[in-house]
Amino acid sequence: MTVPSISVVLPAYNEEANVARTVGMAVQVAESLNADYEVIVVDDGSRDRTAEVTQGLASQNPRVRLVQHAVNQGYGAALATGFASATKDLVFMTDSDAQFDISEVRKLLPLIEAGADMAIGYRAPRRDPLMRRLNAFGWNLLIRLLFGYVARDVDCAFKLFRRCILDDVNVESRGATFSAELLVRAKRAGYIIREVPVKHLPRVAGRATGARIGVIIRAFRELIRFQSRLSREPQPRRKGMLYRSECNLQ
């Protein structure tokens, strides 16, 4: 697939040890695609040198940009800020912890070319500790019970989609429910979502924060609020095919 332009969005929280490696991989892959690209690192109020390291990378490559939150606002808020900052035709998001092989975005691009609006990965297998895998299993099951099937691995941080979808799908969640709301709303609006397995690598530096009890409790509260909001909203006009014709990549 010829890629006209792509925004790579990397949310980061205390990823000083990983962010340079992840940005480097993103730049290398984007340049190999001969695409007009930008790499946006959203520093979500990190307490370490994540912002400083990123600023150093940006000074060497003007296609790398740092966007900062003064205080930690949550994973969904970091994604929302990154997506709002994106200017290219396609948006690719992954985490800054170097647990994905960014070159596997080449698995997602043909799905977009074949007509998908969103191409998303699922971790096969997931290289996380047992407790995180159990939490993820329960979370995905709960989402399926509340909203029906939307994806095999809802929170997999390996997603590619047409940026113009963001003009149509308004995601209000700003915590761990962000990805679920994005996919649920996209599906309700009629957009085509395709999935593909991607490699997941063990974390070699830094610390994951998603399994903290406070994060989990807030995620459940946010999910229930989203379900309540959605139940009161009228079913949207399914305009995926029509909207996609207005959203064709040039």
Q: What is the mean pLDDT of the chain?
A: 90
Tell me what the mean pLDDT of segment 40-51 comes to: 97
pLDDT at 250 over 60: no
pLDDT at 38 over 90: yes
pLDDT at residue 217 in the model: 84
Distance CA 62, CA 246 (A): 30
pLDDT at residue 44 in the model: 97
Radius of gyration, alpha carbons of the chain: 17
Q: Which residue has the higher pLDDT, 250 or 199?
A: 199
pLDDT at 243 over 90: no
Kind plus residue range of the DSSP H or E element containing 231? helix 213-232
Q: Pick from 134, 229, 154: which is nearest to 195 by CA?
A: 154
Q: Pick from 9, 160, 180: which is nearest to 96 by CA?
A: 9
Which residue range forms the structural domain that includes residue 80?
Answer: 5-246
Alpha helices of 5-64 — where are they, by DSSP H? 19-32, 50-60
Q: 58-82, pLDDT tens digit by residue? A: 999 999 999 999 999 999 999 999 9
Q: 154-165, pLDDT tens digit by residue? A: 999 999 999 999
Distance CA 237, CA 250 (A): 26
The CATH number of whichever domain residue 209 belongs to comes to 3.90.550.10
pLDDT at residue 19 in the model: 97
Query: DSSP label at 200?
Result: B
Domains: count for the chain? 1
